Structure 1
Amino acid sequence: MKLCTTCNTLYGPDFTFCPRDETPLVPAPKETMALYDPMRGLLLDGRYRLATAMGSGTLGDVYAATFESLEKPVAIKILHAGYARNPEWAENFLMLARKQATVEHRHLASVTDFGHTPDGRPFFVMDWHSGGHLGELLRTTGPLPAASAVTFGLQIAMALEAAHQAGLIHQNLKPSNVRLPTDEHGDRFAVLTDLGLFTPSGTGVTCLGRDLLLYGNPQFMAPEQVRGQPPTAATDVYQLGLLLYTMIAGTPPFSGDSFHDLLSAQVQSEPPPFQADIRCPPELDRLIRSMLHKDPARRPADMKTVRTRLLDALNTNRRHLIQGAALSGAVILAFVLWWLAGSWRTPNRDVPLRAPPPPTMSTPQTRSQPTTETLGKSVRIFIDSVPAGGQISLSGQVRQAPAWFELPRGLTPVTGRIRHPQRPEIEFTLIPKQTGQVFIHLDQQPDKTPMHAYVPSGSAPELMDPFH
């Protein structure tokens, strides 16, 4: 939900500006959503009672809910209204939910049911996993020990291996999609959520996430996603490499001052070395860097390969710990024997004390600044009308709103027209400077000033919070 701070009106996730006063909308505070969320308390299919909204993602909102007949807690994901208006997206959303329901794995959230809300939006039901997510753990503890990072990474790799065997690709790996419940011994384990945005070509299923590539967290995107190429299993390999790096370093490898800076870094920058105080075994460091190769063909071949190498790294780390403990014991024993043998002697006071050598200054390494040249020469703009249902004509393309338009990037304004069966025809002008979205209010005649596409406000918190 989004809030207009001028008139205090709540709007759905499709809106960017208030239709009444054109104030830019901001994410509604949780307290406000709890009071005014119209979905709260709603009974779906006569079985699932919605409680509080847990979060809003690229495709939909996730609610905590109760399966009333069993008094069992569940999580329910509901497709955003803007996407639910497109019959193909709505059908694919449920088709992929059905496919995910066939995959059962300890480290993968299971889909147990699906249906439609009273207003026709599709939803699916997932197992509830108590405890926080990986992003919350990293915010609290900072970098994880290498053994813990490898353990979580190994569990995620096993879940992805099972998903890939079923023809599913995640393509949206990030810390908030890794839940960390505890087992009967009180130990945390990883459960991967939000699976199933895309299935490989040749399966007869259209890619649901393909038109949404730039609306995830740019700190956890693969280079091929930035270039607009279809994701593959190698995309998940890259994103798991980003997660492993983040767990060990405490922060993602790439940063930037803007959305485009981050996308450029994913395409052309190499991950920086771990800081000196971060202990990462060499074999694990080599694996992570191979997973983060910009060329998908040069990454590890599949998740089975990643799983095997992570297991080797975990076993090697354990051997080093054992050898280190044995070496430490030998050093302590040698020191004790030396002290016993020489403690009766008086120190040689004729040996002069020497000052330590002055510290040397090392030349800092500079990193090349990312440019927008690697992002291509076109932009993709998502256009919707308020009210919905307008027919948009722009640059020789005619589509029914909401729809995507691909335009040459530039500063020259382009003019389009929008027709609606219940509104007068409107002419509008926009500047295709960047990928983003535009909402056209048909009850207001636009002025002569060209519009700019905006990056959705839902991306702003993700730029500030890498663990979202």
Structure 2
Amino acid sequence: MASPTTMPRCPRCQSEYGEGIGYCPLDGGPLLPMVLEGRYRLLSPLGEGGMGVVYLAEHMGLGKRVAVKVLRGELSRDDTFRQRFEQEAVAASQIGHEHIVDVTDLGRTPGGELYYVMELLKGQSLGAVLKQEHPLPLSRAVHILSQVCRALEAAHSRGIIHRDVTPQNVMVLSRGGKPDFVKVVDFGLSKLSHRPGKKLTETGAILGTADYVAPEQVKGGDVGAYTDVYSVGVLTYELVTGAPPFQADNTFATMLLHLEAPVEPPSLRVPELGLPPRLDALLLRALAKEPRERPSMAGFRAELEALVLGADSSEVTAERVTPTRMPRAVSPPPVHDAAPKRWRWAVVGGVLVALAVGAGLMGRGAPAPAVAPVARVEAPAPTPRPVVRARIPVVSVPSGATVRVGDRVLGVTPLELDASNGPWLFELEGHAPLTVERLPSNGRIEVSLKKLPAAPVSEPPASKLKKVRELKPNPFD
């Protein structure tokens, strides 16, 4: 199990033992170095989580360094955790995406604990990055998040829902000389919707990390791709502002905020950063309480990438906004002058053609023919075009605000209004009303409503929410 020159040592208490002893009598952990099934030699621990320990290891035949995640002994004997651990390995190995950690083997230690082998990631978690630098510049945040979205899109295409997208589960590496290459790890809480069999989550159980859990997870309801969209929305919010949208003194209070509290637009949370209004609108949709109101993962990524591709709303004018461009009023041309102009051009055209023909004949020595008089051509009067009434796009952050002119309700944002209307009053429950007196020069109305101070949230009784089981995600951190 160990080489003759190396005494088996417990990585926790550093106690050394003689040959034939594989586990520390004091801590119960494996003594290192340990060989797994004659193929992998565990060298040193890399990190520790709620479900197990990740070790630096070496493939004995290839001499290649790998990472080995070992499920704790007591959990390896529990059917639910054993199936979840195996599911994590299967999920990661089946997706086969460049931005998802590659799992290559699955087995058991000499003591019966489950383990799986994965590629060794030389980098740090996004959580560690945020401890050093927060918030991240928008362009860098979008670059990282775009890769996270692509990884989850690949998982969703195979019916796999991650359910625990957090900074600790996103590894940031340097790959091919390029920084910020992303690997999504820890599918331990993933849901494989295409695999029939026993449910691994009890009805009403809450699995996930409180700061990033979706409302439907708090309720213990069904989860889907929209659940990961919510978590990515929380992750995006944290990257661009420096903190998640909801944080309280304890887990229960934080989860209650996910269920009930409105989201403060990131541009209002950190006004000094000048975040674009389009980012506000995107995150408010991604963090909607109702799953059906959220965008798809691909749609979220596309809108996110557009923010750093020159489509910032602060730079967009009325001429560049294609979906909601305000059409110009078109006046028909003067009818009385249309026919004479067309007649004059017909005469000029006829003369030019005649001269060209004559020049051609003269070039061959033939006499130039006489130019016949051109008959007057009467062009029909054009049909007057209808005047298009100008419409202006109106959006608010948050959306869903009621727009009034006087006592008349015009609708709920987002919507389009006649340019002649105004002033416009915006009203939204829990926010201060706002009046726009005149139409901005860019031809669209975009407002951010200021949230009114909320009443302090008290800790709910333990009976109000089911027991929370939080598993520490990525042991690399």
TM-score (ref. length: structure 1)? 0.61
Q: State the alpha-carbon separation in 2 of the partners of residues 39 and 235 from structure 1.
A: 40
Q: Distance in 2 between matches of 1:189 and 1:46?
A: 33
With over 3 angstroms needed to count, the CA separation of the structure-2 counterparts of 1:307 and 1:118, relative to structure 1, is: same
Per the alignment, residue 224 of structure 1 pairs with 216
1:284 aligns to 2:371 (yes or no): no
Give the match's secondary structure for 2:308: helix
- Aligned-pair CA distance for 1:186: 3.7
Tell me whether 268-277 or 137-146 shows the greater mean CA deviation: 268-277
Secondary structure of 1:128's aligned partner: coil
Q: What is the rounded CA distance, in whole Å, between the counterparts of 2:66 and 2:254 in structure 1? A: 35
SS in 2 for 1:188: strand
> Residue type matched to 1:86 in 2?
D
Length, aligned pairs only: 319
CA deviations on 1:230-273 (whole Å, 9 max, x unpaired) are 32111100100111111111111111111211111121122323
Distance 1:60 1:270, change over 3 A: farther
Q: Are the aligned partners of 2:306 and 2:312 in contact in 1 as well (CA < 8 Å)?
A: no
In structure 1, distance between residues paired with 2:76 and 2:311: 48
The amino acid that maps onto 2:454 is R
**Correspondences of 1:39-438 after superposition (within 5 Å):** 39-195=31-187, 197-201=189-193, 203-208=195-200, 214=206, 216-273=208-265, 274-300=269-295, 302-316=296-310, 365-371=452-458, 377=464, 379-380=466-467
Question: Which protein, 1 or 2, shows the higher relative CO under an 8 Å CA cutoff with sep ≥ 6?
Answer: 2
- Structure 1 residues 270, 53: closer, same or farther in 2, change over 3 A? farther
Distance 1:277 1:95, change over 3 A: same
d(CA) in 2 for partners of 1:191, 1:212: 31
Residue matched to 2:410: none
Q: Which has the larger radius of gyration?
A: 2
Change (3 A) 1:321 1:206: farther
Change (3 A) 1:95 1:144: closer
**Residue 80 of structure 1: CA displacement?**
2.8
How far apart in 2 are the matches of 1:191 and 1:72?
20
**Cα distance in structure 2, aligned partners of 1:365 and 1:40:** 58
- Between the aligned partners of 1:43 and 1:157, the Cα distance in structure 2 is 37
Amino acid at match of 1:309: E
Contact map agreement 1:222 1:266 (CA 8 A) in 2: yes
CA apart distance, 1:369: 3.0
Of residues 37-46 and 173-182 in structure 1, the stretch that sits farther from structure 2 once superposed is 37-46
Unaligned runs of 5+ in 1: 1-29, 324-362, 381-434, 437-455
* Matched AA of 2:240: I
Q: Which SS does the other structure have where 1:108 is aligned? A: coil
Q: Secondary structure at the match of 2:124?
A: coil
- Classify 1:378/1:178 alpha carbon distance in 2 versus 1 (closer, same or farther; 3 Å): closer
**Alpha-carbon distance between aligned partners in 2 of 1:277 and 1:370, rounded to the nearest angstrom:** 27
Decide whether the 8 Å contact of 2:205 with 2:466 is kept in 1.
Answer: no
The residue number in structure 2 matching 1:392 is none
- In 2, Cα distance between the equivalents of 1:161 and 1:34? 44
Per the TM alignment, residue 378 of structure 1 is displaced from its structure 2 partner at its CA by 5.9
- 1:6-21 mapped onto 2 (5 Å cutoff): none
Shift of 1:183: 2.1
**What is the CA distance between 1:372 and its match in structure 2?**
5.4
**1:24-39 mapped onto 2 (5 Å cutoff):** 32=12, 37-39=29-31
Q: Normalising by the residue count of structure 2, what TM-score does the alignment of the two structures yield?
A: 0.60
State the 1:313 CA deviation.
2.2
Note closer, same or farther for the CA distance 1:34–1:366 as it changes in structure 2 (3 Å cut): farther
Q: CA deviation at 1:367?
A: 2.3
- Distance in 2, matches of 1:193 and 1:287, equals 25
Return the offset for 1:196: 5.2
Residue 26 of structure 1: aligned partner: none
Instruction: Specify the SS of the correspondent of 1:179.
Output: strand
Structure 2: distance between partners of 1:64 and 1:188? 22
Counterparts of 1:267 and 1:33, CA distance in 2: 44
The 8 Å contact of residues 198 and 207 in structure 1, kept in 2 or not, is answered as: no
Aligned partners of 1:311, 1:378: CA distance in 2, in Å?
37
Return closer, same or farther for 1:319/1:49 CA change in 2, 3 Å cut-off: farther
Q: Going by fraction, where is helix more abundant, 1 or 2?
A: 1
Shift of 1:33: 5.8
Q: How far, CA to CA, are the matches of 1:34 and 1:242 in structure 2?
A: 40
Letter in structure 2 aligned against 1:303 = M
CA-CA distance at 1:173 after TM superposition:
0.9
